[in-house]
Amino acid sequence: MRVPEVAEYARSLPNVVYVEDNLYACSEEGLSSIKEQIAKQHLNRVVVASCTPRTHEPLFKEACEEAGLNKYLFEFVNIREHCSWIHMHDSAGATEKAKELVRMGVAKACYLEPQEEFESEVFPAALVIGGGVAGMTAALSLAGQGIQVHLVEREKELGGLIRSVRTLFPAQQDTEDLLGPLVERVRSHPQITTYVGSEAETVDGFIGDFDVSIATDGQTKELKVGTVIVATGAQELKPIALYGYSRLPNVVTQLEFEEKFKEGADTPRNVVMINCVGARIPERTYCGRFCCTTAIKNAIWLKEQDPEASVHVLQRDVMAYGVDIEEFYRRAMELGVRFVRYDIENPPQIMGEERAEAVKVYHQLMGRQVVLPTDLVVLTTPLVSREDNERLSKMLKVPLGSEGFFLEAHLKLRPIEFATDGVYVCGSARYPSDIRESVSQAYAAAAKAAIPIRDGFVRAEAITAFCSERTCTACGNCVEVCPFGAIELQEGRFGETAHVNVAQCKGCGCCVAACPSGAMQQRGFDDRQLFGMISALAEEMTSGTGRQ
Amino acid sequence: MSNQSVLVIGGGIAGIQASIDLANMGFQVYLVERTPSIGGRMAQLDKTFPTNDCSMCILAPKMIECAGHEKVHLLTYSEVAEVRGEAGDFQVTVRRKPRYVDLDKCTGCGDCVEKCPRRVPSEFNLGLDRRKAIYLPFAQAVPRKVTIDAESCLYLVKGRCRVCEETCQAGAIDFEQQEELLELEVGAIVVATGFDPYDPASLTEYGYGEIENVITGLEYERLICASGPTEGHLQRPSDGKVPRVIAFIQCVGSRDVNYKPYCSSVCCMHATKEAILANEHYPDLKSFILYTDLRAVGKQFQEYIIRAREEYDVNYIRSRPGKITVDERSGNPVVWYDETVFSEAGDPVRRVTSMGVDLVVLCQALVPRGVHPEMEEKLGLELDECGFLAIPDQLVRPVDTTVAGIFACGFCQSPQDIPDSVVQASAAAARVAELLIFQE
């Protein structure tokens, strides 16, 4: 796109007194130039045409505020995504479109008004949903920061998925050695209230002020929290119909294998593990991240029990990332665990009718089929999302991504936050994570969930709806459509009219669209502003100078 | 009462995130960065996997948020010289190297840079182009203040020039500036010193430094970056031509007991991203990625690889090349590797083969930067055999080091990508808060 041409065009627009073309408007230099020009030119509106408001709008608004201009007098035009990216191969078209968008932005800016942000208090307590390792760690960290925590676990016991795990990577430490003290610390912490055999039935409200009801054995307890952490984990995929699972008695999953030997049964002589069962396939494309680690761990354990045992791990890639897992992998090979690569086009076959007698696999290095006699086949399957995620996602108004895992605010830089303020996620509820990773995420979520509570208040963006009582006919459409329960009909000076609770309004605009009388308006998106933009676009179109 | 200040060592994405979180929690933060600007390695990347977000575009707001936070005290071009004390009460000496520029006066206008007669290789662009002796490391640098590099400044080396001083209208040049030692008292320390790329020259079989068109992954990032030395035109070093075929070689120096035994965790993905970007820039360009195991374990990573294969002509070959030679006629690098082929009877045969390409990108091991040796000796801060900060109880306290009150996040404690580093940074902030909060 030809930026100088867009800048030159902007200069010609009504009410524009100053234009500059800065390669990096978001750099320190760009921002200080904005501040400087606000003072120098006595600017009362600022329009930036650059990249995305999602990451950059707060920065520019902040700069305006610092220069003494109310930050709601700032307008953002996204010409990166909307022009240069999407019309990458049409520079002339992108340039024209950018001009139009800038013209519309300027037209809207003329009608912007200064706004006050609504400040609301944050209730000094947090809710953690899920009492696995991640949830318990998050609860302990929050409590360790002096915050009251309510920890809800669906099962009768704390511990989550790893209760079924026998030993832990990397030290083959007994799970109970980790879990026992952790549960004890949670149980004895005066700042943590634990609800086992319980579910968070409803969570209503917004950051700082969530109303929660927790159901335990048919009884409901109501409480209030300021922030919420989702740590509901995930579950092991049961690979029904794959490799004879559920039909042949000696074909089990890794977790079933661990449970089986938790009690100290005799270990089998010949074991074949098959990795990537139900993962990295067209129907379920993702990698389970730590399933390879689990297979390596269990293979090593078998060799430690019986050095003569024959243990084969059939794999597609060994995901031994980092320092320790790689070392673990090397150790398994040293102990004599055989890793055999198989191809997805040519998967292993189970031989045997009543039970798995052997596994036939095409050995890539040897270039032929090999038959591995086996006493036990262990299928390494990924974690899959919990069915309950759907309900939680609706209740907390946070999105799910592909495969039903929770979707974070930004994959790269906001991995444990949601786009919805005050709600955070950690552990395998977001994506399969091993214990170290889940625990790191739990601490991180605790940091984020503690910040608003420590501050004691939050500011809501002033893009909320408001009702012109004079025009409102009290039809109640807005009350119906509001997803946040922010609108009520109230008796006032003009009889019964709609009334918006600013603290609850998220600025979605549904009520504005539903209002038949035009009484409902939204700050920053009111009729004058939007019609101003449309007129600005239409004007040039009809005069024939713009793009048709 | 323990001190409510925190020292963060390292101004990359992990250090920046830890600083922001700690400052938002109300702690006074001293962020020490050894180079003139915060931003770290992430600032050198073009895009990030698997979203293809422009790295600088998502990093710059964080840099500015961090530097602009009233609770963050930025100490760039500085190093930790000494640490004494214990959790809740550390005494830290920070050495501020002279920049020969008054930070309060410099406006970052760049007039001096233009006039400076001395050119030296740019560290930020890995020597692919040159900067001046007085310089801003990159356009979005924070703070936006110039620095005089004492080793190449004509006046400081030879005693003549001072052109920058004459040019500067703000009177910011100060050749009298001396090294300063700052004494800080902090309650806790967060180490986030990140990594250095491993120099692949020691793997002589790959000819790095000898064969012109063999470059490293990080060099490639600068070449394909729109704000890099070639403005994003992928020009190979020998003749400036755009390559048509690129080979990426994985595990260069990593997963190799002769060099670095560990897996650097991010290379399979950054190579995939780099190959995607090449094809995005030049739709006829074809890439080969020669890998050991294709470790794509993060969220949306497998899907990214599928897209690379199906839409961007990225071809994966499972092999570890033995050597790189030069084709005498074309001057192109030739990659020698072994692969499985099938005989007429359908039997697989393992054979050594070669591939002539226009450019080879070595995805080298990434090596932790560690800490000041004195922190190891005097405080007992331990590193593991590979140089990563040792974490004694990984399952319960994954960011706690061997010294109480000192926490480690990001690549300096284990190989990891950006989201994991950001997570650990926030985790470190939580651990600091747990330590200091009841001692107010």
Interchain CB distance below 8 Å, A55 and B294: no
Do A535 and A103 contact (CB within 8 A), yes or no? no
- How big is the CA angle at B407 (ends B264 and B376), to the nearest 5 degrees? 80
At B387 the pLDDT is 96
> Are residues A404 and A427 located together in one domain of the fold?
yes
CA B61, B67, B68, B72 dihedral sign is: positive
Report yes or no on A55 lying in a domain.
Answer: yes
Which residue in this structure is represented by tokens 């009350």?
Answer: A479
What secondary structure does DSSP assign to A148-167, as a single string?
EEEEE-SSSSSBGGGGG--E
For residue B338, what is the nearest residue in chain A, using CA coordinates? Answer: A365
Interchain CB distance below 8 Å, A448 and B433: no
If pLDDT is split at 50, 70 and 90, which confidence band does A510 have?
very high
- Name the domain boundary from A383, A399, A418: A383
Q: Which of A321, A407, A434, A438 to mutate to test the interface with B (most CBs of B within 10 A)?
A: A321
Nearest CB to A443; choose among B300, B394, B427: B427
Q: What is the average pLDDT across A88-98?
A: 92
> Are residues A346 and A303 located together in one domain of the fold?
yes
Does residue A544 register a pLDDT over 60? no
Report yes or no on A344 lying in a domain.
Answer: yes
Contacts of B399 in chain A (CB under 8 A): 440, 443
Report yes or no on A529 lying in a domain.
Answer: no
Contacts of A321 in chain B (CB under 8 A): 263, 265, 295, 297, 415
At B378 the pLDDT is 84
For residue A435, what is the nearest residue in chain B, using CA coordinates? Answer: B395
Interchain CB distance below 8 Å, A413 and B430: no
Contacts of B104 in chain A (CB under 8 A): none
Please check whether residue B81 touches A, CB under 8 A: no
For residue A175, what is the nearest residue in chain B, using CA coordinates? Answer: B395
The residue type at B125? N
Do A311 and A377 contact (CB within 8 A), yes or no? no
- Name the domain boundary from A115, A144, A163: A115
> Using one digit for the tens of pLDDT, what is the confidence trace for B178-220?
999 999 999 999 999 999 999 999 999 999 999 999 999 999 9
Q: CA of A286, closest CA in chain B: separation in Å?
A: 6
Interchain CB distance below 8 Å, B108 and A28: yes
Residue A20: count other Cβ atoms within 10 Å of its Cβ.
12
Give me the percent of chain A exceeding a pLDDT of 90.
Answer: 83
Do A97 and A81 contact (CB within 8 A), yes or no? no
Distance (Å, whole) CA A428 – CA A412: 17
User: What CATH number should be reported for the domain whose range is B5-97+179-194+369-439?
Assistant: 3.50.50.60
Q: CA of B125, closest CA in chain A: separation in Å?
A: 18
Nearest CB to A440; choose among B144, B262, B427: B427
Please check whether residue B311 touches A, CB under 8 A: no
> Using one digit for the tens of pLDDT, what is the confidence trace for A393-451?
999 999 999 899 999 999 999 999 998 899 999 999 999 999 999 999 999 999 999 99
Here the tokens at position B173 are: 């040049």
Q: CA of A100, closest CA in chain B: separation in Å?
A: 24
Interchain CB distance below 8 Å, B420 and A182: no
Phi, psi at A501, each rounded to 5°: -85, 105
Nearest CB to B25; choose among A289, A431, A451: A451
> Are residues A75 and A191 located together in one domain of the fold?
no
Q: Show Cβ contacts of residue B132 under 8 Å, excluding neighbours closer than 6 positions.
A: B113, B116, B118, B119, B120
> Are residues A370 and A257 located together in one domain of the fold?
yes
Number of domains chain A contains: 4
Report yes or no on A538 lying in a domain.
Answer: no
Does residue A128 register a pLDDT over 50? yes
Contacts of B306 in chain A (CB under 8 A): 285
Between chain A and chain B, how many beta carbons pairs sit less than 8 Å apart? 211
- How big is the CA angle at B56 (ends B54 and B59), to the nearest 5 degrees? 110
Nearest CB to A27; choose among B60, B301, B414: B60
Distance (Å, whole) CA A58 – CA A63: 9
> Are residues A278 and A399 located together in one domain of the fold?
no
Report helix angle B55-68 to A53-66, nearest 10. Answer: 30
For residue A293, what is the nearest residue in chain B, using CA coordinates? Answer: B297
**How high is the ipTM of this complex?**
0.97
If pLDDT is split at 50, 70 and 90, which confidence band does A171 have?
confident
> Are residues A372 and A507 located together in one domain of the fold?
no
Query: Model-level pTM?
Result: 0.93
Report yes or no on A536 lying in a domain.
Answer: no
Using the CB atoms, write b or e for A373-403: b if 16+ within 10 Å.
Answer: ebbbbbbbbbbbbbeebeebbebbbbebeee
If pLDDT is split at 50, 70 and 90, which confidence band does A367 have?
confident
Contacts of A51 in chain B (CB under 8 A): 57
The residue type at B274? E
Here the tokens at position B249 are: 């070689």
Please check whether residue B25 touches A, CB under 8 A: yes
Residue B138: count other Cβ atoms within 10 Å of its Cβ.
21
**Helices (H), ranges, A347-494:** 389-396, 435-455, 477-481
> Are residues A226 and A295 located together in one domain of the fold?
no
> Are residues A221 and A254 located together in one domain of the fold?
no
Does residue B439 register a pLDDT over 60? no
Here the tokens at position A128 are: 């953690």
Distance (Å, whole) CA B66 – CA B59: 11
| DSSP-derived 3-state class of residue B228 | coil
CATH number at residue A374: 3.50.50.60
At B245 the pLDDT is 98
Please check whether residue B263 touches A, CB under 8 A: yes
Distance (Å, whole) CA B178 – CA A539: 63
Nearest CB to A444; choose among B57, B306, B423: B423
- Name the domain boundary from A363, A383, A403: A383
Q: CA of A487, closest CA in chain B: separation in Å?
A: 32
> Are residues A378 and A414 located together in one domain of the fold?
no
Q: What is the average pLDDT across B133-139?
A: 96
Interchain CB distance below 8 Å, A27 and B394: no
Distance (Å, whole) CA A332 – CA A315: 14
Report yes or no on A158 lying in a domain.
Answer: yes
| DSSP-derived 3-state class of residue A226 | coil
| Surface of B (181-240) touching A: CB under 8 A | none
At A264 the pLDDT is 76
Q: Which of A184, A326, A448 to mutate to test the interface with B (most CBs of B within 10 A)?
A: A326
What secondary structure does DSSP assign to B385-425, as a single string?
TTSSBP-TTTTT-TTB-SSTTEEE-GGGTS---HHHHHHHH
| Surface of B (116-135) touching A: CB under 8 A | none
Q: Which helix (DSSP H) or strand (DSSP E) does residue B90 occupy? A: strand B89-96
Q: CA of B226, closest CA in chain A: separation in Å?
A: 12
CA-to-CA dists, residue A403 to A382, A423, B110, B132, B345, angstroms: 12, 20, 50, 51, 42
Interchain CB distance below 8 Å, A168 and B395: yes
Interchain CB distance below 8 Å, B438 and A440: no
Q: CA of A382, closest CA in chain B: separation in Å?
A: 11
Contacts of A367 in chain B (CB under 8 A): 340, 347-350
Distance (Å, whole) CA A69 – CA A65: 5
> Using one digit for the tens of pLDDT, what is the confidence trace for B98-123?
999 999 999 888 999 999 999 999 99
Domains B5-97+179-194+369-439 and B200-364 share a fold: yes
At A84 the pLDDT is 87
Residue span of the structural domain in which A361 resides: 236-383
Does residue A54 register a pLDDT over 90? no
Beta sheet of A338-341, edge-to-edge order:
A251-253, A376-379, A270-274, A310-315, A338-341
Return contacts of B310-313, CB within 8 angstroms, 24+ apart. B312/B275, B312/B276, B312/B279, B312/B280, B312/B287, B313/B279, B313/B285, B313/B286, B313/B287
Smallest CA-to-CA distance from A253 within A239, A266, A241, A264 is with: A239
CA-to-CA dists, residue A365 to A339, A348, B339, angstroms: 11, 15, 10
> Are residues A53 and A100 located together in one domain of the fold?
yes
Which residue in this structure is represented by tokens 């609706």?
Answer: A394
> Are residues A267 and A196 located together in one domain of the fold?
no
For residue B349, what is the nearest residue in chain A, using CA coordinates? Answer: A367
What secondary structure does DSSP assign to A78-109, as a single string?
ETIIIIIITTTT-HHHHHHHHHHHHHHHHHHH
Interchain CB distance below 8 Å, A413 and B142: no
Report yes or no on A225 lying in a domain.
Answer: yes
Q: CA of A531, closest CA in chain B: separation in Å?
A: 32
Q: What is the DSSP letter of B347?
A: -
CA-to-CA dists, residue B199 to A276, A346, B264, B412, angstroms: 35, 39, 14, 17
Please check whether residue B57 touches A, CB under 8 A: yes
Does residue B440 register a pLDDT over 60? no
Distance (Å, whole) CA B161 – CA A294: 64
Please check whether residue B431 touches A, CB under 8 A: yes
Class of domain B200-364: alpha beta
The residue type at B332? N
Greater confidence (A23 vs B434) lies with B434
**Environment class of A447 (CB within 10 Å of its CB; exposed 0-12, middle 13-18, buried 19+):** buried
Interchain CB distance below 8 Å, B431 and A451: no
Report yes or no on A539 lying in a domain.
Answer: no
Q: What is the average pLDDT across A162-181?
A: 92
Does residue B1 register a pLDDT over 60? no
Residue A404: count other Cβ atoms within 10 Å of its Cβ.
17
At B85 the pLDDT is 95
Interchain CB distance below 8 Å, A323 and B384: yes
At A547 the pLDDT is 45
Report helix angle B418-436 to A133-144, nearest 10. Answer: 40
Where exactly are the structural domains of chain B?
5-97+179-194+369-439, 111-167, 200-364
CA-to-CA dists, residue A183 to A139, A180, A196, A311, B393, angstroms: 11, 5, 12, 35, 17
Here the tokens at position B417 are: 């990508």
What secondary structure does DSSP assign to B185-214, as a single string?
EESEEEE---EEE--GGGSGGG-BTTBTTE
Nearest CB to B297; choose among A287, A330, A444: A287
Strand-strand pairing, B78-86 and B47-48: unpaired
> Are residues A297 and A409 located together in one domain of the fold?
no
Q: CA of A157, closest CA in chain B: separation in Å?
A: 19
At B375 the pLDDT is 85
> Using one digit for the tens of pLDDT, what is the confidence trace for B337-351?
998 777 777 677 778
